[in-house]
Amino acid sequence: MDWKDKRVAVIGLARSGLAAAKKLREIGAEPFLSEARSSGELINTIPSISDFEYELSGHTDKVLKNELIIISPGVPLDILILKKAREKGIPIWSELEFGFELAKDTSSKIIAITGSNGKSTTTSLVHHILKESGKNALLAGNIGLPFTSFPIEKGEYEYIVLEVSSFQLDAIEQFRPDIAVLLNITPDHLNRYHTLDAYRSSKLRIFENQTEKDFTVLNYDDDECKQLNKIGLSKKIFYSVNEKVNENVWFEDNKIVIKSGEKTSYLYSNELPISGLHNVSNAVASSLVGVLCRLESNQIIAALKSFKGLEHRLEWVAEINERIFINDSKATNCVSVEKALASFDKPINLIMGGSDKAEDFSSLIPLIQKNVRNLIVLGETKTKIIKTFEKFVNTIEVSDLQEAVWTAYKISNPDEYILLSPGCASYDMYNNFEERGKHFNQLVGGLKK
């Protein structure tokens, strides 16, 4: 595509929108920026867009004077300005689609990973395996920096490893990864999609443009993924932690077994630096991607051993007077909380709550009854959470995270866990789960002092 002097509107000035705007200018296009938030809300952003043409506090028909619209992931597809754009036949792309347009004719191989849970860990693990094996690999997408923040049009990366969200997939046209990984599909973001069918359809778009030359890695242990063998044209490869469903990577006798070429290597699960059976599953999926990239089994095993895990995902924070504090701020839905609760063998003092994503928390009742001694709740969803669990566990309402940390410490006993695993988004109190997790770590650090 010839980008010289092409007029492109960018809607949404979060990280992806800003990256797209800067990239458009780099390649000779004329970006116009449009944002619903006010100047007061964007006080830290305005200096970085001062030399662009832009509008704030709403989207006007100036957007419709452009040849293409690129949207940030958080922009709903049903807002009025996008309805008008469709009526005028103006293409609407996600930043993901824009990045693919720039990278598709290079030699870079694209590995895209999605799922309701585990995608950040798996994406980071795949990238780590490639880097530790000597490959020039880029980590981008819904994790860290946006796809278009990098010189992807130059083809200097052997592999581009992307964490991909359903929001990003909603506005693709040609996006086609060489290897697509779908970890699981469980109810999430139902405040945006309203039905599981709509959410599922977004996730499945990750392989809709793949050809017979491409691979899709699917979780055989997930009921939704298990049904996808005949959808799309790509080669489907399943993985499992319960049975051997492929000849290259499997889990048995408490060890991950990897066969690549003539070599077979294995790693016991207690040698994996990240805990829980769900992380064993993530490691199996990542190892299978490594095999598809023709890495040696011993290279993959060595990388698995050296992986440090991610912040805010069952992150050990501190031990204070025999109480262990765990930061699982990334747990923004019930399935993530369920996996967290199943990862520990001692009583848990659980901190839950945040902004509402239309989750049904009742699925957690059995594990709450079994593993949680005290439940501390806060945020927009606290009333909903209290009604769900007050019959089954001692439940305490607090006003903010600082009070939650202090309360959990005061009512806990030695040899217990204090776990932040909110089961909700963070937007009622924080800009994102990272900010929430960092605040938790700071509060625990203050408590320790």
Rounded to a whole number of angstroms, the distance between the first and last alpha carbons of the chain is 57
β-bridge mates for residue 377, sequence order: 352, 397
Confirm if 387 and 375 have CB atoms less than 8 A apart.
no
| Residue keyed to tokens 């049975």 | 243
The per-residue pLDDT for 323 is: 93
Distances (CA, A) of 265 to 247, 248, 277: 13, 10, 20
CA atoms within 13 A on the CB side of 99: 32
Q: Of all helices (H) and strands (E), which one includes residue 187? A: none
Reported as a single tens digit per residue, the pLDDT across 35-91 is 999 999 998 899 999 999 999 999 999 999 999 999 998 899 999 999 999 999 999
Tokens coding 69: 């619209």
The per-residue pLDDT for 342 is: 86
The per-residue pLDDT for 186 is: 81
Tokens coding 310: 């991610």
β-bridge mates for residue 314, sequence order: none
List of residues 6+ apart from 332 with CB closer than 8 A: 188, 354, 357, 422, 423, 424, 425, 426, 433
Blockwise average pLDDT, block size 10, the chain, 449 residues: 95 94 97 95 90 96 98 92 97 97 97 91 95 97 91 97 93 96 82 80 93 97 91 95 96 95 91 87 97 96 89 87 93 90 90 91 94 96 96 96 97 95 94 94 92
3-state helix, strand, coil in the chain (%, to 5): 35, 20, 40
Give start and end residues of each alpha helix (H) in 133-221: 166-169, 190-193, 196-204
**Positive or negative: CA dihedral 92, 148, 331, 426:** negative
- Vertex 310: Cα angle to 309 and 313 (nearest 5): 105
The per-residue pLDDT for 189 is: 67
Name all domains of the chain by residue range, CATH numbers in brackets.
7-90 (3.40.50.720), 97-306 (3.40.1190.10), 315-448 (3.90.190.20)
The per-residue pLDDT for 328 is: 94
